[in-house]
Amino acid sequence: MKTRLKSFAGDLGSSLFSILIALAIGALIILAIGENPAEAYQALFKGALGSSQSFANTLSKMIPLAFTGLAVALGQRGGMLNIGAEGQLYAGAMATTLFALTFPGLPAIVMVPMCLITGFLAGMLAGAIPGYFKAKHNTSEVIVAIMLNYLITLFTSWLVNGPFKAPGSVSQTNPIPAGAMLTKIWGNSQLTTALFLLILFAAVQYLFLWKSAKGFQLRAVGGNRFASISAGIKADRMMILTMMLSGGIAAMAGSTEVMGKYGCFIDGFSPSFGFTGIAVAILGRNHPIGVLLTAFLFGVLDTGALRMGRVTNVSANIIVVVQSLVILLVSAPEIIKFFKRTKEG
Amino acid sequence: MDMMFQFVAMTLKLSIPLVLGAMCGTIAERGGIILLGVEGLMLIGAFSGVLGSYLTGNAYMGLLLSMAAGAVLGLLYAMFCLKLRAHQSVVGVGVNMFASGLTAVLLKVFWQREGMTDPVVSVKNVSVPGLKDIPVLRVLFHDQSPYLYLTFLIVLGVWFVFYRTKAGLRYRAIGEQPFAAQTSGINVNRYRYVAMAAAGMIAGIGGSFLSLSQNNLFVVDMVAGRGFMGLAANIFGGWSPLGSLGAGMIFAVAQSARFYLPDIHIPTQFVQMLPYALTLFILLFVGKKAKGPEALGQLVS
């Protein structure tokens, strides 16, 4: 237990280190543009954390990223890269919306959980396909999921532009009933009870992975598929289950956006939550706590970037550069080792 | 007949970025590197094309810059995969995001606004005298983008190197059995670096087609999935240069059909799904032949 905590802390240390390097490179770019990095970053953090409302908006921004991050992290623990979170979250969002529109009369106490469950099931279905073909035919789950991302996104786009389009020029569905909406919990901000759902999911994921037999099997398959088979684990079934759960969790990113923010399904609403989730998971070392922390950090960057873009001449997109550098740095452990060596020697 | 002519001409034009993207994927993956970053490489190419044209007033300098930028990014990509031993799929995701962010930031630096650049000098379409009057072949030579000829040359060149040279044979061996190749004295990583530079360069050309030939400016995220569609074409074409060419053409038919289908009632989304659905079908149900190179993702020390 103790050594595990210690190694997790060490991992978090290198994650923090990667973030600092990425921010430093970002500062160099800002400097090269001819702007003041200190001023830009100050605007960024002020925009994200400066008032209680902006803090709440940051928390609200982190929720979809944390869900996709948890999803990718679970897949990674099971030895698979779930690059399909983007499609899965669209599947979840659409399923949730359609359920709410089909049964508008349900009381909130039934409606909210049923909307979430429908979304989760849709995500599980979307995750099952790459999981099944990886387990049974060893087809790359990455490629299958990329194709599915496009297929699902285009299919939901057809639904929202065709059969379920609301009157008017915008590509969105009719509003879902008020009973299906999550409750706002912080003044004028966009923060809703989705935050509690997120914390619940993170806690359950932790307990499942490290305190349950199934979770142990999942990690065993992820560690070494063939050794786990020798140990009597049904690795095939475990891999399919992993991708299904991962898909379901990713779907929560979409469902909570619909139920918490938009109140309807909007065509192409996700700014790559699924792909950013990969960064969040890897930076958070595939640990639920790490995922929450890094999702918060990414939420800070996203919220603050808007203000930075307003008060300085730096494009808000510099944040995308910083986030991508973080991905690249943590994807290559050798870099961190290199920096540590030069520091010591 | 006239409508048919336009349809074929448009299909050819739309196939250019798909075929080049597919070629980029084929080159990298036949040597064993998983390349999910085609999209980002193309985006960098699209931006540097416009930048080069803007700075020099010459569209062909833009094309050159896009090739150089693509090659440099391809080498960096290779460095992450080979030297730093990073998770290759994750590097792809990172590169795509990096390209998206960096081009948007640089756009604001050079043009002081967000979204899109000013128009620049573009690569003009050409008509080949003499050949443009031949009845059927006319479609290849009348008011066509020079990029089309460049694309055919590239496909032919890659095919030749892959199947008619010793280096190509060795490179394909690296993608199947890198350790055996290394044991037989081949410098695996040197081959892979060269290939990644070439792949990046070709992706850069594909990107600059979008910004310099199909348009005359750069728009944020203008590659819009064509890199991934190219990757799909590479898989659909069986990881081979000629297969990639054919698959790119087939996908382009689906793309251009969109402009001619409003009369027939198929929603555009379903037409757009076709490339991905076909590729998924091949991947899932055609079995072993659709697995790609044996050693995809394997590194040597």
DSSP A247-260: HHHHHHHHHHHIII
Query: Span A119-126, mean pLDDT?
Result: 98
* Per-residue model confidence (pLDDT) at position A345: 42
* Residue B87: closest C-alpha in chain A: A331
On chain B, the residues whose CB falls within 8 A of the CB of A157 are 269
- The count of other CB atoms within 10 Å of the CB of residue A53 is 14
| Chain B contact present for A231, CB below 8 A | no
| B152-174 pLDDT, tens digit each | 999 999 999 999 999 999 999 99
Compute the mean pLDDT over every residue in chain A, rounded to the nearest whole number.
91
CATH number for the segment(s) B2-123+137-291: 1.10.3470
Structure tokens at B128: 């080949």
Domain residue spans in chain A?
48-344
Using CB atoms, which residue from A81, A315, A327 is nearest to B108? A315
Specify the 3-state DSSP secondary structure of B144: strand
Q: How confident is the model at residue B113 (pLDDT cuts 50, 70, 90)?
A: confident
Q: Which of B84, B98, B272 sits opposite A324 (nearest CB)?
A: B98
Chain A: give the shortest CA distance to residue B125, in Å: 32
Q: Cβ separation of A150 and B228 shorter than 8 Å?
A: yes
Q: Looking at the predicted structure, is the pLDDT value of residue A33 above 90? A: no
DSSP collapsed to 3 states, A177-227: CHHHCCCECCCCCCCECHHHHHHHHHHHHHHHHHHCHHHHHHHHHHHCHHH
Tens-place pLDDT, residues B171-190: 999 999 999 999 999 999 99
pTM of the model: 0.92
Between residues 161 and 220 of chain A, which touch chain B (CB distance below 8 Å)? Answer: 161-162
Question: Is the per-residue pLDDT at B119 higher than 90?
Answer: yes
Distance CA A215, CA A242 (A): 10
Per the model's pLDDT, the better-predicted residue between A208 and A312 turns out to be: A208
Q: What is the torsional sign of CA A52, A59, B93, B269? A: negative
Instruction: Please tell me which residue of chain B has the smallest CA distance to A147.
Output: B276
- Facing residue for B101 by CB, picked from A81, A144, A317: A317
Q: In a 10 Å sphere around its CB, with 0-12 CB exposed, 13-18 middle and 19+ buried, how is residue B230 labelled?
A: buried
Q: Would you state the pLDDT for residue A202?
A: 97
- This model of the complex carries an ipTM of 0.90
Mean pLDDT of the region B143-157: 95
Q: Within 13 Å and on the Cβ side, how many CA atoms surround A123? A: 35
- A114: pLDDT confidence band, cut at 50, 70 and 90? very high
Cβ within 8 Å, pair A154-B100: no
Predicted pLDDT at A2: 58
Looking at the DSSP bridge assignments, the partners of residue B264 are: none
- B272 chain-A contacts, CB cut-off 8 A: 150, 154
Contact across the interface for A147 and B232, Cβ inside 8 Å: yes
Q: Evaluate if residue A318 carries a pLDDT over 90.
A: yes
- β-partners of residue B219 are B116
Q: For residue B237, list chain A residues with Cβ-Cβ distance below 8 A.
A: none
CATH architecture assigned to A48-344: Orthogonal Bundle (1.10)
